[in-house]
Amino acid sequence: MSRVKGGPRTRRRHKKVLKLTKGQRGTKHTLFRRANEAMLKSLSYAYRDRRNRRRDMRRLWIARINAAARQGGLSYNHFMHGLRQAGVELDRKVLAEMAIEDADAFANLVEVAKAKVRG
């Protein structure tokens, strides 16, 4: 049986990999084998760090909500518990944005949460 090299299909695959690694240092953007290794690694890093970014953003939102809630006299967990008891269904992203942009509305939410926690 004779050997089949692939021809145009292989060239397309190589060009796709080299296009993805454009901007890498050294031979990672010119040599296919090194570029393929770099591409696999960078794609796995990108996948992992998309999840890490969500985790980091959630931590940032919680820190902002906690700081704003404490100015109103509640800790973060009491604030969130009070909102849940009151039936307020705002996510952390929106609450953090309100804490920064609209302090008056956030203060009203703190009062609603206080009333439910203490009352």
Asked whether the beta carbons of 109 and 89 are under 8 A apart, the reply is no
Asked whether the beta carbons of 70 and 107 are under 8 A apart, the reply is no
Locate 16 and state its tokens: 């796709």
More confident residue, 117 or 80: 80
How confident is the model over 16-31, as pLDDT tens digits? 999 999 999 999 999 9
- Indicate the pTM of the whole model: 0.79
> Any residues with CB less than 8 A from the CB of 45 and at least 6 apart, and which?
none
Q: Comparing C-alpha atoms, which of 26, 30, 4 is closest to residue 17?
A: 30
Topology of the domain comprising 8-118: c-terminal domain of poly(a) binding protein (1.10.1900)
